[in-house]
Chain A
């Protein structure tokens, strides 16, 4: 099935947050600090205020107070340790380009011009932004300090750091620079106070309900007085998972000038005013027996966070469950720096961890002179060794075999640098990915209308994976109707609540709710049909009925049919509605460990003189449960693989530590991969359902699409050249 919104998107008819035009709307442009740490001594706004079209210039001294700021903790979910940045709260500067003022004008151009005229004087403190320089100051996250059972605590199975005493071992340090989501759509909001205590926002977010709750608490108004609209989201990859200072700044401005205010970040501001994948240092140690059984793994990681908020992510989880090893040690730390707070980015934590783990697997296999595929299969876990539970489903070996076949793994040579295509060195590499198969509480409303169409609504979002399409398909299957008769609406807080789009859990969560709402609708139809004395369905039970082509029929007598619309007519109903909530309440869930799995294979060519790398072929295979829609699921895998190519070869932001300021903050300097960097990416799914997780049998795809790609490419580069690059991105200068 094709994307339901494909035509809207390619024709420009899909409307994104920044495209909303409200009557009397004004435009806000943020002014960022030019120091990294310290205090604002004074702000000179005179020139800006005098500039044409300027309505107001707001900063901590004159901005309306945000009632939520005085609460002990900022209303962000999930609650971090510390305090998310409170825009215009006081004179403190915590990171470079922190928003210190907003200029509101009658046009965007005038606001942008005047914003340049705002000048601040600072009292500067010494800052710390260089991760590697300050690495020794890393700390155990407070959550773990407070709760010895917290998963972020150190983990020791068997003997601690047992690899150290072993004869056959590898040890290495890995660095991943700060990466930015950089979706094409810039972060944007239109904030509109419809009344003193009624707020509507057209906001780029992955969580309409989360955003609604956050702003209700922030402004101390009833939740139902906040309306959040995010009908289309032009990519997000995680940076819409919680609210950011520019959103509150727009709402503050709208309050002050008493007009709707639109704020759209610039590309440069996307590097400081929203989150990012944190800089991470990792160390791996691994040992194995001569015949390829892993005897010990130690995996340490330090991730960057801000000075005012503790961001943590699950970098090491996979190391505890991916491979059999009697001894496993993991240690996780965070390093607070004078930077803005990170946020989850596609494959959060796991993608970082997989780079180290899957590189070390390749290094170990090489020491053992063993095929890395064989080495992985040999150490495959048949149940979750950490939780000592069976997998709900795990078809990783099947995925590996599929992928190996498609990439031509048999052409791979054990010895690096031995395969050539003309001047170019050829190499093959693989990497495995995994991510928890999650499901959350979600609800949906289904309405059958007199014309025989069905409208479904849920307050989820679609940041690009094709949620709308998948939901239409799920509903069509559930209702026994043609998909063209079904419309799915999302991205509004007025719809039944759903969780944020994240953690690869939307199909499992919202899809289950859509299915439940459709089932509920069918039951209502069945009751009506069988309750009608004149009907040939009289007395029929729900189980005895079939729903197909918009009609109910008796399973025993398929020719006894009644169309949905006729049932409505008989009942003299204009429409029929059912709303259902669905949640992960299957008790079986506790008896299993639930994960999605992926494996990525890369063929690369490296030019020995110039260090150019070409990924010439990629194959990504996934065990992601039942596949609802092959096209959108395939798109997800391809997009994730391209993201992984960026992580491996091109992406990484650089701060000049002297100033604490990014020096690679546009698309000319921060390189997201382009078409020419992406080969034909072949995708294959095992496509076997996992009904423990949810009634649809799906598992998540979004994260595993990217997790494991970067090490697959790094490993292929090693296989081509014999050069082991442990610091991403692998640019030509590292290979000559």
Chain B
């Protein structure tokens, strides 16, 4: 790890100003991702701005939405009464992530901004366009079992590893940020970006912008929901694929649906066409299968992740079945 300066401001503005002005300054929250990256020399900030003293931890109801402070811990959000009542899908997704120890350190803001787990990205001896633009994508012709099937480019085929984000994109959340130029609100589906020719840029957040909260509008998706994560071991592993499914069912007819996938793209992957295909249909396995097929349109796999072309739709079907059966 490189030497760095460390500051711990108590006002949002002080934190924002420092990171906006200083080229190599970075925010640190729980540190569960950033410290790993620093130890391996993948990022080398010369100043860390610890934001844990900022007043950004509250979870509250506001204007028909649940507003979750950026510093709320993954564990406390998952167990929060309001969240469990209004957004059980989010609670399930959070509990499917990492381990209890990590969830007790990791923050909501940090979770959204965690970097990919692509092994080439994590090893400075291997090529990676995301870590060092221009060196090539190690995974493209390499070991790509965990990699994307949607929205990849020939520059990068990495996936975004967050579970929480899959639920948030399904729930039409907004990201609230404060920056040197003021405050703005970013719809969750526009927060992360696809790799294109600039895989080194994960999100549309600008330098110096601080995430202050996410706002999750209240919906009727409070009962028939399921976050299903398929992984190599029962806990504490990243998703091979995951599915966030939410249904509103009346008289066995689907009134409304939300569907998103994790582990398949450079961003949490919302499946709007498949959602449309669900609405108005009976909540049966056949309907779910049709929606899953629509969801998989345009998917393209690589040498080691062909299985996602089958595991993906199967998991969608199963998550929808679980959601429909939820009581």
- Residues on A lying within 8 angstroms of B by beta carbon are 34, 52, 109, 112-113, 116, 607, 609-612, 614, 649-650, 654, 656, 658-659, 661, 663-666, 668-669, 671, 673-677, 729, 731-733, 736
What's the least CB distance linking B301 to chain A, in Å?
A: 11
CA distance A34 to B138 in the complex (A): 15
Which of B41, B124, B230 is close to A610, meaning CB atoms less than 8 Å apart?
Answer: B230
Q: Are B228 and A610 closer than 8 Å at their CB atoms?
A: yes
Which of A654, A659, A675, A731 is close to B232, meaning CB atoms less than 8 Å apart?
Answer: A731
Q: Are B311 and A659 closer than 8 Å at their CB atoms?
A: no
Which single residue of chain A is at the shortest CB-CB distance from B234?
A676
Q: Are A677 and B141 closer than 8 Å at their CB atoms?
A: no
Q: B86-94, B174-182, B312-320: which lies at the A interface? A: B312-320
Please, which residues of chain A bring their CB within 8 A of the CB of B311?
610-611, 732-733, 736
Please, which residues of chain B bring their CB within 8 A of the CB of A654?
143
CA distance A650 to B233 in the complex (A): 6
Which single residue of chain A is at the shortest CB-CB distance from B305?
A733
Q: Are A663 and B123 closer than 8 Å at their CB atoms?
A: yes
Q: Are A609 and B317 closer than 8 Å at their CB atoms?
A: yes
CA distance A702 to B235 in the complex (A): 27
Q: Are A663 and B143 closer than 8 Å at their CB atoms?
A: yes
- Residues on B lying within 8 angstroms of A by beta carbon are 1-3, 39, 41, 99, 117, 119-120, 122-126, 138, 141-143, 145, 228, 230-238, 240, 307, 310-311, 314-315, 317-318
Q: Are B143 and A611 closer than 8 Å at their CB atoms?
A: no
Question: Can you list the 4 inter-chain pairs with the closest CB atoms, starting with the nearest?
Answer: A676-B234, A733-B307, A676-B235, A34-B125
A610 in contact with B233 given A663-B143, A664-B119 (CB within 8 Å): no
Q: Are B120 and A663 closer than 8 Å at their CB atoms?
A: yes
User: Knowing that A654-B143, A676-B234 are A-B contacts, what are 7 other residue pairs whose CB atoms are under 8 Å apart, sorted by A's residue number?
Assistant: A109-B1, A650-B232, A663-B120, A668-B237, A668-B238, A674-B99, A736-B311
A609 in contact with B117 given A675-B235, A676-B233, A731-B232 (CB within 8 Å): no
Please, which residues of chain B bring their CB within 8 A of the CB of A649?
233
A671 in contact with B138 given A654-B143, A663-B123, A664-B119 (CB within 8 Å): no
What's the least CB distance linking B323 to chain A, in Å?
A: 14
Which of B2, B233, B310 is close to A673, meaning CB atoms less than 8 Å apart?
Answer: B233
CA distance A661 to B127 in the complex (A): 12
Please, which residues of chain B bring their CB within 8 A of the CB of A607?
318
What's the least CB distance linking A532 to chain B, in Å?
A: 63
Q: Are B232 and A611 closer than 8 Å at their CB atoms?
A: no
Please, which residues of chain B bring their CB within 8 A of the CB of A731?
232, 240
Q: Are A609 and B233 closer than 8 Å at their CB atoms?
A: no
What are 6 A-B pairs at a CB distance below 8 A?
Answer: A34-B125, A609-B315, A610-B228, A663-B119, A676-B233, A736-B314
CA distance A669 to B119 in the complex (A): 8
What's the least CB distance linking B62 to chain A, in Å?
A: 36
Q: Are B123 and A661 closer than 8 Å at their CB atoms?
A: yes
What's the least CB distance linking A708 to chain B, in Å?
A: 21
Please, which residues of chain B bring their CB within 8 A of the CB of A729?
232
Q: Are B235 and A658 closer than 8 Å at their CB atoms?
A: no
Which of B3, B120, B141, B307 is close to A113, meaning CB atoms less than 8 Å apart?
Answer: B3
Q: Are B3 and A52 closer than 8 Å at their CB atoms?
A: yes
Q: Are B234 and A733 closer than 8 Å at their CB atoms?
A: no
What's the least CB distance linking A269 to chain B, in Å?
A: 12
CA distance A614 to B233 in the complex (A): 9
Please, which residues of chain B bring their CB within 8 A of the CB of A677?
233-235
Please, which residues of chain A bring their CB within 8 A of the CB of B318?
607, 609-610
CA distance A732 to B122 in the complex (A): 25
Please, which residues of chain A bring their CB within 8 A of the CB of B231?
732
Please, which residues of chain A bring their CB within 8 A of the CB of B124?
116
A674 in contact with B236 given A656-B142, A732-B230, A733-B311 (CB within 8 Å): yes
Please, which residues of chain A bring their CB within 8 A of the CB of B317?
609
CA distance A650 to B310 in the complex (A): 20
A658 in contact with B142 given A52-B3, A674-B234, A732-B232 (CB within 8 Å): yes
Which single residue of chain A is at the shortest CB-CB distance from B307?
A733
CA distance A534 to B76 in the complex (A): 77
CA distance A512 to B40 in the complex (A): 48
Which single residue of chain B is at the shortest CB-CB distance from A664?
B119
Which single residue of chain A is at the shortest CB-CB distance from B315?
A610
CA distance A612 to B234 in the complex (A): 9
Q: Are B240 and A732 closer than 8 Å at their CB atoms?
A: yes
CA distance A59 to B238 in the complex (A): 39
